[in-house]
A and B are shown apart, each in its own frame.
Chain A
C-alpha cells in the first residue's frame, strides 16, 4: 500500500474536483449546469406547452409541487386541468391514464416511486403494453409512466426495488433509464412525443445532481433518441455497461483505474428497451472485456440480458474473459446504513472486479 505525501494528496483532490463528471457531457463549451430535477421539470414544461393533450397526474404532483419537486411550478402555470393530484389509488389512476391515452390524450402518469407501480402493473402491461398488438394495430397507447426507480437512501426494502428488469421484459413497452441532466431532458421529451407506452425510470439520488449542459440541450426541441446508448468515457482495456446511477459509480471507478493505467470504456445505456446491443458489441470487439454494473438484483437483471446478448453475438468471439455482472446483493434492502452501503455496488467493487477480469493485481 503506497502512502502519498500531503502535496500529492492535495493535487489528487484538485484533480478529482476538476475532472469530476468532466466526461459525462456532449460539449463542455458553456459552463451552464442543470440538476436532473430541473432538466425533468423543463422537459415536462416544454412538452405541456407544445401539446395541449399532454397532462400530468399522480400523487402530490400539483399543490405539493411533486413529492420530489419534479413538477414544481407546473400546477401554478397550467392549472387544475393539466396538473392533477390523484388519491392514493395507483391501479385506479393508472387505468384512467391508460384509458385517456387510448382515447387520444397524452398522459404523463407519475408513480411516486416505481415500487408503488406494482399496484398498477396490470394496467401498465395488460392494458397499455399489449393493446396495440391485440387490436391489430388499431389502438396505440401514447402514455408515459415516470417516477424514481431503484435504491434511494435509508428507505428500506419496500421502497428500494429496481424495476428495470420487470418492465424491460415486456414487448409493447419502451423503457428508458437516464443518467445525465441532458439524458433526462431529452428522454422525457422523447417519451412524451412517442406514440407508444414509455416507462421512464428515474432515480431519487440523481434528482439533486448537477451536470454541465450543452447549448443544444437548452433548445425546446432537444430530444435524446430512445434506444441509443452513449459512450460516456472512451477506453480500450475493458467495457463497463451501466444504466442510471450505476453509470456514476462506473465513471468513478474508471477514474480511479485510469490512475493505474487501466482505461475503461463506460457505456451509459440510457434505454433498456430497446437495448443498444450494437454499441455494446462494438465496444467489446474493441476492448475484449465486459463488466455490467447495476444496482438491481442479479437474477434475470439487466446485466443478465446484456450477457445473453453478448453470448449470442459476434462479440463472444472477441472476449478474452467471461462477462461479469456487478449487481446489488440478492437480498431485500436493509435499513441499517452500513448494511445498505454493503448491499449496493460501490466504485471499489467495480475496481476490484475490473482488476480480476483483467487479471491485474
Chain B
C-alpha cells in the first residue's frame, strides 16, 4: 500500500500498526522502544504499542472502528484544503461491523470524500472467526453504494496495484472506495493469546507454507532474476543487525522521568499545574511536544 501512496496521502489504522509506523518514517528503534515504553520510542513511551504517530500517519487507535470516521475526517480535510491527498482508513474484519463505519460510508459517499476504506480481513477478530462474527463476510461489498474491490492481501504486487487503482479512483473525483485485503494472522491476538483455542495449528502452518507474502515475493523476484540469493542474504543480515541493535536499545534505554507524567495534557495549558495524587502533590504541567496544529 505504501508503495502506491504519494507524499500527500495519509493513513490511519487501529492498533496493529508497528509495520505502518516504520513505513511512515519512524526508525525501527522508534517502534521497538515504544513497545518497551522507553524514551527513544516514537512517542517517548507515552503511547505504547497501540498509539504511535508520524507525519501523515494518525495512529495507532485503541477503540476499533473509531479510526474510520477519523480517517474520513483526515480525507475531508485534504479535500477542504485542496491538497489532492487521500486517506487510507484501515480496519479489521472484527471492526467491520461497527455502526460508525456505516455512518461514515454514508457521509463519505454523500460528500464525495477521498477516503479508501481498507478492510484487512485476517480471518479473525481476536478469537472470533470472520464467519462467526459477520452475517456477510464479503467485506468489500459492505459499503453497499460504495464500490468495493477484493484483493489477495498475501500478494504484495496485487496490493500495490489495487491501492494504485483505489487512489486513482478517489482523486479522479469518483468518491470513496472499499478495498478488502484478504490476509492471515499467524500469531494470537496479543501477547496473552496463544492463538490455538479457536483454530488448529495445521491451519496456521498451512497458510505459512503456501501463502506467506514474503516467501512468495522472494520466490518471484529470485525466479525472475531481479535479485540473487546472495543479495537477499546480505539484505537479511543487514536488517537483522539493525533490528538487533534496536531491540538492545529498547531493552536498555531509560524511561522518561516522572516529570513527564503531567506533560502535554494540553497544547495551551490554562493552569500551571496538574492535580496530583493528593492536593499536596500537584505536578507542574510541562509542554514538550511540537503540537503540529498549534497555529
| Residues in chain A within 8 A of chain B (CB atoms) | 53, 55, 81, 84, 86-87, 89, 91-105, 122-123, 126-127, 131-142, 171-172, 174, 194-196, 225-227, 274, 312-313
Contact = CB atoms under 8 A, between A and B. Distances in A.
A172 B265 contact: yes
Contacts of B62: 126
A105 B81 contact: yes
B73 A138 contact: no
A138 B99 contact: no
Contact of A126 (B66, B99, B274): B66
B131 interface: no
Interface string B279-295: 10000000111111111
Contacts of B31: none
Contacts of B279: 312-313
Interface in B18-65: 43-44, 46-47, 51, 53, 58-63
B100 A138 contact: no
Interface string B77-116: 1101100000000000000000110011011001100000
A94 B288 CA distance: 28
Q: Interface residues of B toward A: which range?
A: 35 or more
Contacts of B159: none
Contacts of A92: 69, 72, 100, 103-104, 106-107
B74 A274 contact: no
B264 interface: yes
Given A53-B81, A102-B293, A138-B43, 18 more contacts: A87-B103, A89-B103, A92-B103, A95-B72, A96-B72, A96-B104, A99-B76, A123-B66, A123-B70, A126-B62, A133-B264, A134-B43, A135-B47, A136-B289, A139-B58, A139-B292, A174-B270, A195-B294
Contacts of A99: 12, 58, 69-77
B46 A134 contact: yes
Per DSSP, are chain A's interface residues mostly helix, strand or loop, or mixed?
Answer: loop
B230 interface: no
A140 B104 contact: no
Contact of B46 (A136, A171, A196, A225): A136
A81 B70 CA distance: 19
Contacts of B10: 103
8 contacts: A87-B107, A91-B100, A95-B72, A99-B58, A135-B59, A139-B58, A142-B293, A226-B270
A41 B199 CA distance: 59
B177 interface: no
Contact of B69 (A91, A101, A138, A141): A91
Nearest to B46: A136
A95 B292 contact: no
B110 to A, nearest CB: 7
Contacts of A123: 66, 69-70
B202 interface: no
